Amino acid sequence: DPNEDTEWNDILRQFGILPPKENPKDENEEMVLRLQKEAEVKPYERMNLKELEEAEDDFDEADREAIEKYRQQRLQEWKCLQRRQKYRELREICGEQYVKEVTNAPKDVWVIIHLYRSSIPMCSLVNKHLSLLARKFPEAKFLKAAVDSCIQNYHDSCLPTLLVYRTAEIKGRFIGVTQCGGIYLKVEELEWKLAEVGAIETDLEENPKKGIMNMMTLPVQNIPACEANDTKSSDAMKPHIT
């Protein structure tokens, strides 16, 4: 047997009559080598954008194209991270900041602003829910403003008022307790409302109020008050709300 481990076979191998005996493969060693190879990372893949710029001259020409592609990938990742971390909170603004913060917001950003009066319990509830949603959906801009700083003589029956903007246009509005969801409003219900107008991308699979009529007609006596207030306050709104 040429594969048998005997002295005679060893002599035959020395004279080249038999081929050299193959050493048995160490499976563990092979696995270690394979894992090491898979774990190899090019130096530039460990660097941030600033380090890449500083070390650019240290790489050879063969790596230039790969480095540029990697740089662009890291740049896009950084931009996405910056955008996700840009908001993350319900911020207070005043009427003088309305145009800058709402009307002139970046075109790809949804803006949700709550006009409130602190003496109205429903307004406090909406602010509480919006604070939670701002953290859950940091890519959207959540704002609140005391209504008196934006519109004079705004009727209490129209509060809370939620306005949803994109590209300087109102894409959705919820005016008064009923349209905002009622005094027992849950944060999931408000999340669904904002998702319906496109302001956020919810992971809720169905309307939390499914099967329940959550948009009721306002009492007749309250309608004229809102309409009258709308007419009287329209001029006052123009400097701050477009």
Q: What is the chain's pLDDT, residue by residue, as a tens digit (242 residues)? A: 666 777 777 777 777 777 776 665 556 666 666 665 555 445 555 566 666 666 666 665 666 676 677 777 777 776 666 665 578 899 999 999 999 999 999 888 999 999 999 999 999 999 999 999 999 999 899 999 999 999 999 999 999 999 999 999 999 999 999 999 999 999 999 999 999 999 999 999 999 887 554 444 344 344 334 544 443 333 434 444 43
Determine the Cα–Cα distance for residues 29 and 37; give it in Å rounded to an integer. Answer: 12
- Amino acid 13: pLDDT: 74
Q: What's residue 75's pLDDT?
A: 76
18 dihedral zone (left: phi>0; alpha: psi -120 to 50; beta):
beta
pLDDT given for residue 14 in this prediction: 77
Residues 6+ apart with CB under 8 A from 200: 110, 133, 137, 140, 191, 194
Instruction: Walk me through the domains of the chain, giving residue ranges and CATH numbers.
Output: 91-208 (3.40.30.10)
* Per-residue buried b or exposed e for 120-136, using 16+ beta carbons within 10 Å of the residue's own CB: eebbebbbebbeebbee
Query: Would you state the pLDDT for residue 197?
Result: 96
